[in-house]
Amino acid sequence: MLGPVLLAASRSDRLRRVVAAAPVTRPVVDRFVAGDALHPALDTVRALTASGLDVTLDHLGEDVTDRATARATRDAYLRLLETLRDDRLGPRAEVSVKLSAFGQALPDGGHDVALANVTEVAELATSIGTTVTLDMEDHTTVDSTLAVLAELRKEHPQTGAVLQSYLFRTEDDARALAVAGSRVRLVKGAYNEPARVAFQNKRDVDKAYVRALRTLFAGEGYPMVGSHDPRIISIAQEFAARYHRPAGDYEFQMLYGIRTAEQRRLADEGERMRIYVPYGADWYGYFMRRLAERPANLAFFLRSFVPAGR
């Protein structure tokens, strides 16, 4: 029951100020966010890649309402990619972007603004040997995001997309994207969606995830299994065997700071394991969605408010 409340809170400016000002917040945020700035995040990236893990980097921010901020997001990703190039991390590190941070939601030509901004990022990513994955946001953005994906893939065919299994439409989208060269990260979904467009029951979401996952593994694209669920991970490995996909013809993805032992186990077994590493000062929305996803995350946060010894 707390999940929808926390998801609603993720877009509250008032609660954002309260949470950000609480002295105990920062240590907990640091569990999920690799720093407020680029260079601390890169220390994390270097450590992860040195240990055999791949990464995807997310410069946090979303729901941009002016063109200047959208351009600033573009510029932050360009700086990130330049640094990855200088550190020769391109083969091990890609970037994930939210198009709402690139101007998608602007009332006047938002789709075109986002496309123009992210195209510059995709061009630089391609030039250094890496790629871009388009994060999926709430259901109102799906058509625009997939249209941007189609445009980017004309010149940058390795551009990836994210699908969310809790949306009714996702099985059809998975079939459309299960084509040669297509990269798809499948997740369960982390936004507060209405019952007219999304499954509300966890069991139904899980079943939909497995159906879409089977489609992706049976297709000709590159599945990216975005899950921390042990059952989903086991099913993905069963699908890999069934459809004769060797390690490296798909990958697992998990969030920075969550189930780190499982990340290590899968990598040690020879699976390709990619860690989603977010960074930046605009961490509140991302942080609240992480709390909403798992009761253990919320309990961890709430315990931080209890003084030691009580």
Question: Is 173 annotated as catalytic?
Answer: no
Q: Annotation-wise, does 202 bind a ligand?
A: yes
DSSP 177-199: H-STT-EEEEE---S---TTTB-
Task: Report the chain's C-alpha Rg in angstroms.
Answer: 19
Q: How far is CA 84 from the centre of its chain?
A: 19
Look up residue 144 and give its amino acid. S
Q: Which one from 54, 58, 135, 282 is the annotated catalytic residue?
A: 135
Q: Annotation-wise, does 190 bind a ligand?
A: yes
Q: Annotation-wise, does 154 bind a ligand?
A: no
The alpha carbon dihedral of 40, 44, 50, 53 has a sign of negative
Q: Annotation-wise, does 207 bind a ligand?
A: no
Q: How far is CA 165 from the centre of its chain?
A: 14
Question: Any residues with CB less than 8 A from the CB of 252 and at least 6 apart, and which?
Answer: 224, 225, 227, 233, 236, 266, 271, 272, 273, 274
Q: Annotation-wise, does 308 bind a ligand?
A: no
Question: Is 185 annotated as catalytic?
Answer: yes
Q: Annotation-wise, does 289 bind a ligand?
A: yes
Q: Which one from 185, 206, 274, 282 is the annotated catalytic residue?
A: 185
Q: Annotation-wise, does 188 bind a ligand?
A: yes
Both structure tokens of 87: 């550190």
**Residue numbering of the annotated binding site for substrate:** 98, 289-290
Q: Which residues are catalytic?
A: 135, 185
**Residue numbering of the annotated binding site:** 98, 136, 164, 188-190, 202, 227-228, 289-290
